[in-house]
Amino acid sequence: VHLIEYHNRANNCYESLACKLIDTKKCSEKFRKRFLPRELTILLHVRHPYIIRINSIIKCRSKICIFMRYAEMGDLLSFASDLWALGVVLYMLLNKSIPFKGKTRQVYEQQMTRAWKFRSRVNDTLSPEVKTLVRNLLEPNPLIRWTIEEVLVCDWLIQDRRLRSLNAEEFAALAEARTFARSSADIERVKEKLRRSENSDQLVTMIKETGSKLATGNHSNSLLSLRNSH
């Protein structure tokens, strides 16, 4: 996705738009012939105040450009959502199956009640460290779910000897993650209380307040916090 400037000649003004670029050469035939036309048709017909509206769709050789309103306030997703997705992918790699099955409501209920388990054929072969990682990534409460800093210093990852020979940027990122892990002890204690509590409103406030205090250390410009500008 790219940010572009559109010149509206009718009003003689410039407008910021987001452009989603799809290279059909890199897509499978099934996606190109079945799913892509369906997606484009739906996008053109959706009209809802809370869904980004499509401005236009242009095909240029093998590439399809989808121009849409630029969401200047950012998206609704977060790093916590990315960590959940990472947990799903890791689970699938270890089990050769998906963690949740069924219709939408069934899947939602399974996610919220942590109704998943490792397959019996691999359960005894997986290390306790990787099980702990998956369990903390597939945590339905985003306030308790592990952050990327916590993942980088988890027991399973640090077993890899390749992490002992890092380039300068990787070393700086890992050092920062370890610093963050040490400085976030207060949050971890609150998280543990939250895991044991049924009424979590007060504890959620405590986590936010504790996080605000830690934020004064300003990790926002770190390598770990950088997003792709596109």
- Per-residue pLDDT for 202 more than 70? no
pLDDT given at position 228: 33
Closest by Cα among 53, 15, 59 to 37: 59
Percent over 70 (pLDDT), the chain: 72
Which pTM does this prediction carry? Answer: 0.49
**Domains of the chain (ranges, CATH numbers):** 2-73+202-209 (3.30.200.20), 76-165 (1.10.510.10)
Split at pLDDT 50, 70, 90, the class of 157 is confident
pLDDT given at position 119: 94
- Per-residue pLDDT for 178 more than 60? yes
Average pLDDT of span 202-214: 47
| Cα gap 20→17, rounded to integer Å | 10
